[in-house]
Amino acid sequence: MACLESMLLARKIGVLIVEDNELMRHGLRAVLEHGEGFAVLGEAEDGVSAIEMASALKPDVIVMDIGLPQMNGIDATRAIKKIMPHIHIVMLTSHDNKDEIFAALSAGAAGYCLKDCASERIKSAVTSVAEGAAWMDPRIAHIVLGAFESAAAKKDESVHEDAVAVAALSQREREVLRLMVDGASNREISDKLIIGVSTVRTHVEHILEKLAVSSRTAAAVKAMKGGLI
């Protein structure tokens, strides 16, 4: 029986919920546990506990609030991605402040979802980032793209630097990056470009290294700022 339970768990996306509001935590657990393919491995109430539980439980995805006690969600995300880069993080928050959005994405978050969104969006965000794609709430994407348009109009120095970084990519890396911006998973990129998944992973690693970023989402941000899209 224990073996069967382990096999069933292995097929599911392991999730750690990090939220200081008890009612919200219970609601998230209910949404995910009543969905197909999710297993809630644990809950944390603050950023410090999130790091400890991530290390112990090794979840596939962390659903992370920003406004946490002891250590905020952005700092916790940065710390977790530094020591456990394979863990994907979705920010689930009521914050739609531009500075916090970019801080979260720069820290390594792969997704950004607002708390007032429908439960199906939360499940979609968790599933997408678990597959290696980036995911943003449409309202957040609008803010991000608007910021890029403003920056491009001003032709500031940071945009120029990002353009130089994107230009240094090979043609194949640029093709992979375009698909990453579209939110494609490694398997979808493999099918689209007719190359092996392991080759896609290698390209993604090289892209992150060349762009000096730690996540696919941050790479997509640089791609848009650098004029690739």
Q: May I ask the CATH class of domain 154-225?
A: mainly alpha
51 close to 77: Cβ distance less than 8 angstroms: no
CB atoms within 10 A of CB 224: 21
Phi, psi (degrees; rounded to nearest 5) at 60: -75, -40
Residue 227 binned pLDDT confidence (cut-offs 50, 70, 90): low
- Nearest to residue 48, comparing CAs of 88, 21, 77, 25? 77
SS3 92: strand
Sequence-distant (≥ 6) Cβ neighbours of residue 229 within 8 angstroms = 178, 181, 223
Q: Is the pLDDT of residue 3 over 70?
A: no
Residue 133 binned pLDDT confidence (cut-offs 50, 70, 90): confident
Rounded CA-CA distance 178/134 in Å is: 12
Task: Write the pLDDT tens digit of every residue in 53-63.
Answer: 999 999 999 99
Residues of the chain with CATH 1.10.10.10: 154-225
Sign of CA dihedral 151, 116, 31, 36: negative
Rounded CA-CA distance 26/67 in Å is: 17
Residues of the chain with CATH 3.40.50.2300: 2-142
Q: Is the pLDDT of residue 1 over 50?
A: no
Single pTM value for the model: 0.67
Q: Does CATH place domain 2-142 in 3.90.380.10?
A: no
